[in-house]
Amino acid sequence: MDTKYFVNPKLVVCEWIPMGVNNLVSLNRHLGSHKKYTAPTAFGMKGEVQNLEDGTFKMESSGCFLQPVHFTISGELKAIIKNHHSDTDAKGLDIDKDGACYIGLEFDRQIEIAHIKDIIGNIEAQFASQFLPILTDTQMSLLKCSYGTKDNSKLCESLSSYAMVITDGVGVNITSTQEFLEDESAKNLLTPITDWIIGHYSTNECHIFIGVKALVCVGVPDAQLCNLLKKVLFQYTLFNISLRLYSTMWANMKILSGMGQTIPNSNYKDLKADNNKLADLQNDFSKHKIVCEQIKKTVESKLNTLEEDISGKKSPLYLNLKKGYLEEVEKSQDRSVLIDQMTIDIQALRDQMQQRMSLIITKNGERLNLTLLVLTIFSVIGIGEVLGFSTDKVLLVTVVLSPFILFVIRGFIQYRKDYKDGK
Amino acid sequence: MEINTLSQVSIDKDQKCILFAYSLYTNEQEYTYLQYTAACALVFYLSQKGFFNYNLNELLVYDYKEERRYIWESKKFMADINILRDNGLLLRARSRSKTSHDVNAHQCTILGHQYVKYLLNTSPEIKKTFDNIKRELSCNGGEIKKIKLLNDAPHLCCRYQSQPIKGFLKSFAQSPDNSSKIPPHNPFFI
C-alpha cells in the first residue's frame, strides 16, 4: 500500500485550561508582554523560594521559556514556547482569557499521515510538562477535577485535546469532500488522524474534514476561514472536555449511590470512612460546579463572537458550529442541575449517616452501662463471699445473673464489631 | 562556545560589569537565581562605590520581600539587563515562593559564564575592574557577601559582618521634624 503524506502541514493542538481574565493578565504582566521583550522568560521551574529575605535562591530544575509575540493584556497571549532559550523545537502558543489554548507548529516538508497522531501525542506531552507547572494551584485543582485525576503527573497524560491539520495537499486531487469520501480508494486516507469523520465541508477553496479526534483542512485557508477553524477546533475540544467531565461526575454519582445502599449495615468504622469519602465527593462536586460555570461562560463568550462572524452567513459550517456551541451551553446547564441534585443527595446521605452513627453510639452506651451494672453485682457477690454468704445464695445469685452475663458478652462482641480499628 | 562567537558579543562596560556581578551569584547549570530586587540593591551599592554611573535618584515601586516599597532602579540599568538577555548572557525567570506566586529573578547563563571567562582572559582592563568589583563584594576571607533583604535596608552579609546598603529603600512616611519635601504649591481642582 502506498504511503500517504500531508504536504507542508501546519499542526494545531487545542486544549482547554481554566484561565479567566485575572490569570491571563497576571501571565501577561509576569511575562512582560507590554515591555516587548525580545528574549524569553523562564516559568514553571520546579521548587519554590524558601525565604524572600535571601537575595539569591536555588531551584530544583529549569522550566519552560515563553517569548511574547502578540498580546492584549486581558484578552489573549501569543508566545513562542520552548524548553530552553536556544531550543530549536519551539512551538507557537496562543491562549485567551476563555482558556482556549492552541499549540501550533508547521513543517516545510511532507509528513506521513499515519505519523501525525504520534506527533500530536508528543506535542500534548511536551505542552503538559511545559505549561501546566505555570498554572496556579487553583487552576490545577480545577483541571484535575475535570479529568478525574488526583495527581499532577497523571494529568499530564490525560489531557484530552482536539487537533487540526492544515495541509497544502494529501497526494490526491480533491474536487469536493463529498466526492472524496465516496471514492473507495481515498475515503479512508485521513482516518488515521481524524478517526470517524463526522462532518465535511468544501468552502473558501478548502476542503474540511471533521473527525472525532481531529479535523483536516486541505487547501490554503484565508484569514476568515482560519478564524472559523480555530472556533471549530475549540468547540470540539470543549466537547471532549464535557465528555470527560461528565464521566468523572458519573463515577462520583456511582460511588454516592453505593454508599446509600451500605449505610443501614455499616459499622462505626465504615461510617467514619464513608463520611470522609463524602466530604471528598462534596469537594469534587463543588469544583465540578465551578468548572461547569467556567465552561458555560467560555461557551457564551465564544458564541457572542461567533454571532458577529456569522451574521448573514448561511454556510453549514457556521451553522453547525453555532449548533455545537449551543449544545455545549445546554449540556453545561444539564450538568449544573445534576450537581445540585447530587448536593442534595450528599446532604441526605450525611443525615442518614449521622443517624446511624448516633444509633450505634447509643446502643453501645447502653451495653456499657449494663456491663458496669454486672460488674457491680460481681463486686457485691465478691463482698458476699468475703462476708461468708452460703454457697446456695451465691449459686442463686449467679443463676439470676446468667442472662445478664450472656447479654454483656453479646454486647461486647457487637461493640468490637462496630468499633474495631475505628477510633 | 567558539571564541569567535564570544568575540562578536557587543556590550558596553556597564553591561559587562552587571554580567560579572550576576556570574558571582548565579549559574544556569546550578539553577541558582538572583532576585531582581537584590540585583538592584547590589548595583545601587556598586554605583555608590563608583563602578557604575547610574542616576541614583530614580525610583521604582516594586516587591521588597512581601511588601511593595519604593526602591532604586535606573531605567538605564533595566535596559542593560535586557541587552544582556537579548545576547543570551542573562536569563529572566519568574518563580514561586512559599508566600507569593511570583518572584522576578535572573541568572547568568552558561554562555554568560563563558563570556566572563573570555573577558578575564582577553582584556586586562576589564579584568582589573572585575577584580575590584569582586574585592568590593568579598569578605576578608574571600567569601562573596550574601545579599539579605532586611526590613531596614538590604544588607551585604558575611560571617562577621552585615553591612546595610543605605539609601536603596525610600520611605515617604512623614515625621514631625521632617517637613514636606514637595516643592511649594497651591491647591488645584480639575
Which of B94, B100, B108, B155 to mutate: most A Cβ within 10 Å? Answer: B94
Cα dihedral: A114, A119, A121, A126 (round 10): 180
Q: At residue A375, does pLDDT exceed 50?
A: yes
- Find chain A residues with C-beta within 8 A of B95's C-beta: 45, 47-49, 57, 59, 63
Question: Judging by DSSP bridges, how do beta strands B59-64 and B67-72 pair with one another?
Answer: antiparallel
The Cα–Cα gap between A324 and A150 comes to: 30
Q: Quick check: A277 and A259 in contact, CB under 8 A?
A: yes
pLDDT number for residue A423: 43
Q: At residue A56, does pLDDT exceed 80?
A: yes
Long-range contacts of A274-277 (CB under 8 A, 24+ apart): A274/A353, A275/A350, A275/A353
Q: How far does the CA of residue A195 sit from the closest CA of chain B (Å)? A: 40
A54 touches chain B (CB under 8 A): yes
Query: What is the per-residue pLDDT across B70-92, written as a single tens digit (0 to 9) for each?
Result: 999 999 999 999 999 999 999 99
Q: Quick check: A240 and A162 in contact, CB under 8 A?
A: yes
Proportion of chain A above pLDDT 90, given as a percent:
40
Q: pLDDT band at A311, cuts 50/70/90?
A: low
Q: How far does the CA of residue A276 sit from the closest CA of chain B (Å)? A: 28
Q: At residue B7, does pLDDT exceed 70?
A: yes
Give the count of Cβ contacts less than 8 A between chain A and B: 109
Q: At residue A126, does pLDDT exceed 50?
A: yes
Of B30, B42, B91, Cβ closest to residue A85: B91
The Cα–Cα gap between A363 and A360 comes to: 5
Q: At residue A314, does pLDDT exceed 90?
A: no
Question: Judging by DSSP bridges, how do beta strands B90-95 and A41-43 pair with one another?
Answer: parallel
Proportion of chain A above pLDDT 70, given as a percent:
96
Phi/psi zone of residue A195: left (φ > 0), alpha (ψ -120 to 50 degrees), beta? left
The Cα–Cα gap between A415 and A394 comes to: 29
Give me the mean pLDDT over the A10-32 stretch: 94
Q: pLDDT band at A20, cuts 50/70/90?
A: very high
B91 touches chain A (CB under 8 A): yes
Give me the mean pLDDT over the A178-187 stretch: 88
Closest CA to A42 of A13, A96, A75, A79: A79
Q: At residue B175, does pLDDT exceed 70?
A: no
Q: pLDDT band at A369, cuts 50/70/90?
A: confident
pLDDT number for residue B174: 57
**Averaged pLDDT score across all residues of chain A:** 87
Q: How far does the CA of residue B93 sit from the closest CA of chain A (Å)? A: 4
For the ranges A61-65, A174-178, B12-16, the maximum mean pLDDT occurs at B12-16
Residues B35, A61: C-beta atoms closer than 8 Å? no
Cell numbers at residue B20, please?
560579572
Of A7-16, A200-209, A230-239, A304-313, the least confident: A304-313
Q: Quick check: B153 and B144 in contact, CB under 8 A?
A: no
Q: pLDDT band at B179, cuts 50/70/90?
A: low
Give me the mean pLDDT over the B116-133 stretch: 96
The Cα–Cα gap between A304 and A307 comes to: 5
Residues B35, A55: C-beta atoms closer than 8 Å? yes
Q: What is the DSSP string of B21-61?
A: HHHHH-BGGGTEEEEHHHHHHHHHHHHHTTS----TT-EEE
Of B25, B28, B99, Cβ closest to residue A56: B25
The Cα–Cα gap between A34 and B177 comes to: 42
- Continuous H helices in chain B: 3-8, 13-25, 36-48, 75-86, 110-122, 124-136
Supply the CATH classification number for the domain A232-356: 1.20.58
Give me the mean pLDDT over the A258-282 stretch: 87
Residues B147, A55: C-beta atoms closer than 8 Å? yes
Q: How far does the CA of residue A201 sit from the closest CA of chain B (Å)? A: 45
Residues B100, A52: C-beta atoms closer than 8 Å? yes
* Ranges of each domain in chain A: 5-46+60-222, 232-356, 361-419
Helical pair A316-387 and A223-262, crossing angle rounded to 10 deg: 20
- Find chain A residues with C-beta within 8 A of B150's C-beta: 53
Residues B98, A136: C-beta atoms closer than 8 Å? no
Give me the mean pLDDT over the A288-302 stretch: 90
**Residues present in chain B in total:** 190
The Cα–Cα gap between B35 and B26 comes to: 10
